[in-house]
Amino acid sequence: MVLGFVDLRSMVRGKTKQVWRDMSDLFEDPTPEKQTSGNAPEFSVSEIAGAVKKTIEGAFGRVRVRGEVGRVTLARSGHMYFDIKDDRALINAVSWKGQVSKLAVMPEEGMEVIATGKLTTFGSQSKYQLTVDAVEIAGEGALMALLEKRKKALAAEGLFAPERKQPIPFLPEIIGVVTSPTGAVIRDILHRLSDRFPRKVLVWPVAVQGDACAPQVAAAIEGFNAMTPGGALPRPDLLIIARGGGSVEDLWGFNEEVVARAAAASDIPLISAVGHETDTTLIDFVSDLRAPTPTAAAEHAVPVRAELLAWTSEQEARLTRALTQGLSRRGERLRDISRGLSDPQNFVNTAQQRLDRWSSQLDLALRTEVSRKRARFQEHAGAIRVASLQGGITQRRADLEKLAERLASAPGRYASRKKEDFSKQSNRLRSEIVVRHVREASRSAEGLFQRLSDRATRQQQDRLQKLEALDRLRQTLGYKATLARGYAVVRGDGDLVTSKATAEQAAALEIEFADGVLVTGQAGAPTAQPAGRKPKIIRGGGEEDGGQGSLF
């Protein structure tokens, strides 16, 4: 780079010399006539400006200028004006609207750049300027500074967060590879894939360096994500973004924000493998897995088929072994346990023996019992004689016949006797006698009833008369009737007063007339109060007490 710069300077110096020579040609000719300056041809300002422009453009053509970007102005027209300077000089630079949109790097103040463009003049202001159509970052340090800045911005957005990382599928069906279709990288990847586990691979060809790199890589990632699983172009289930080693500038496309954002947004798990192990690009921070080399990416992408086949066989062997062992272990255990069981024949044998014994005894016992019964039978059978039995039977039969004869005549006799009794009795029975008896009895009953009621009425009248007479007597005998004839009863202090002396002593006197009681002296004497004794007094106040009183 430094060499290039020196080259440029020497080139510029060379060209300048030539320009100088041309100019001397132009101006040195009239030198001999220096004294006759009046004859010197005259240029108009525009003519000289035009000549200068033509000279400068012709002498320099396209140049690359390295310097630090000064003030940058983006005009409303879309043109961009900026300065490029070093420690001693400054040059104006302009990028027209159409050029600005194609710039790979947008100049920023303080950025060390190499600007490529045509040197020209701006005659109306006596200026010269560089019309810039390409800007590159100058030097690794400057690039790294820019990369750091981007990294910080994306990290702040959380695009590097570990929780965003998707797991890499264990065995992807289809692998999408974004890389150059030619060159060692794709060969390495395909070779390693087919060594380990042959898979379907879709290669999306892209430029892996230069200005086209970043937009193409971003478009490829987005394009793979847009495919439908199982479609005509089946969507891969793993992406590998790969590029071989190169300079920082070569790898720069993978440091671009579009690429990083496309990788971060990918729904398909993504392995990045850009450059050598020591190169780290922006895409490595957002990818789900960073592989140090393209070959390593292929190793991460698929397992080794042979190993898996071996593993599968091993599993099968283990499976069979485990089952067989399980069976033999159980068989052994069964044998162990069954040894503990005694022979079932033993149980049967004992029982069999008992059965044999008893069944042999059964025969004997039966025979003994029969002979015993027979002996007893013969004992009794000896006493029975056929002749005596027959005699008994004949006797009983004769008795029976006799009884049968009697039985036949008996009912007739009994019935005729009872019939005789009945006719005798029925002759004595007459209905007139009964009727007469009834009539007489009812007549006498009527008479008795009449007498009873007469007697009762008479008795009641007698008693009523007697009661009235007695009541009249009671009235004449009571002291109340006496009062009506002009007598009075005097009471003092509640007691009957019968003498003057007692009357004088009494605090108050009550005189009872036929029509009421008169109180004299101290009215309401307390002694007159006891009510409980009152009936006694009245009774005592009667002229005749004693026997008459008891009548009430």
Partner 1 sequence: MSDTPVAEMSFEEAMAALEGVVGQLERGDVPLDQSISLYERGAELKKHCETKLREAEEKVAKITLGPDGAPQGTEAL
Residues binding partner 1 (CB under 8 A): 169-171, 181, 186, 190, 193-194, 197-205, 216, 219, 223, 227, 233, 305, 308-309, 311-312, 315-316, 318-320, 322-323, 325-327, 329-330
Q: Which is nearer to partner 1, 56 or 308 (CB)?
A: 308
Look up tokens 């002296």; give the residue.
521
Q: Which is nearer to partner 1, 205 or 542 (CB)?
A: 205
Q: How far is CA 247 from CA 148, 171, 251, 275, 552, in A?
A: 17, 34, 6, 9, 162
Q: E strand or H helix at 74, and its extent?
A: strand 62-74
CA 348 to chain centre: 63
Q: Which is nearer to partner 1, 142 or 168 (CB)?
A: 168
Q: Please provide the size of the chain in residues.
A: 552
Q: Which is nearer to partner 1, 105 or 193 (CB)?
A: 193
Q: Please report how close the Cβ of residue 74 comes to partner 1 at its closest, in angstroms.
A: 28
Strands laid side by side in the 489-492 sheet: 495-496, 489-492, 508-513, 516-521
Structural contact between residues 319 and 312, judged by C-beta atoms closer than 8 angstroms: no
Q: Which is nearer to partner 1, 166 or 194 (CB)?
A: 194
Measured torsion, CA atoms of residues 393, 396, 398, 400, in degrees rounded to the nearest 10: -130
| CA–CA distance, 166 with 270 (Å, rounded to integer) | 8
Q: Please report how close the Cβ of residue 148 comes to partner 1 at its closest, in angstroms.
A: 31
Q: Which is nearer to partner 1, 319 or 348 (CB)?
A: 319
Q: Please report how close the Cβ of residue 262 comes to partner 1 at its closest, in angstroms.
A: 13
Q: Please report how close the Cβ of residue 298 comes to partner 1 at its closest, in angstroms.
A: 12
Q: Please report how close the Cβ of residue 169 comes to partner 1 at its closest, in angstroms.
A: 8
Q: Which is nearer to partner 1, 105 or 175 (CB)?
A: 175
Q: How far is CA 73 from CA 82, 106, 158, in A?
A: 6, 12, 32
Q: Please report how close the Cβ of residue 302 comes to partner 1 at its closest, in angstroms.
A: 9
Q: Which is nearer to partner 1, 97 or 318 (CB)?
A: 318
**Strand spans (E) along 138-182:** 174-179
CA 357 to chain centre: 75
Note the helical H segments in 340-430: 344-381, 386-428
Structural contact between residues 129 and 120, judged by C-beta atoms closer than 8 angstroms: yes
Q: Please report how close the Cβ of residue 175 comes to partner 1 at its closest, in angstroms.
A: 10
Q: Please report how close the Cβ of residue 358 comes to partner 1 at its closest, in angstroms.
A: 45
Q: Which residues of 441-478 are buried (b: 16+ CB within 10 A; e: fewer)?
A: eeeeeeeeeeeeeeeeeeeeeeeeeeeeeeeeeeeebe
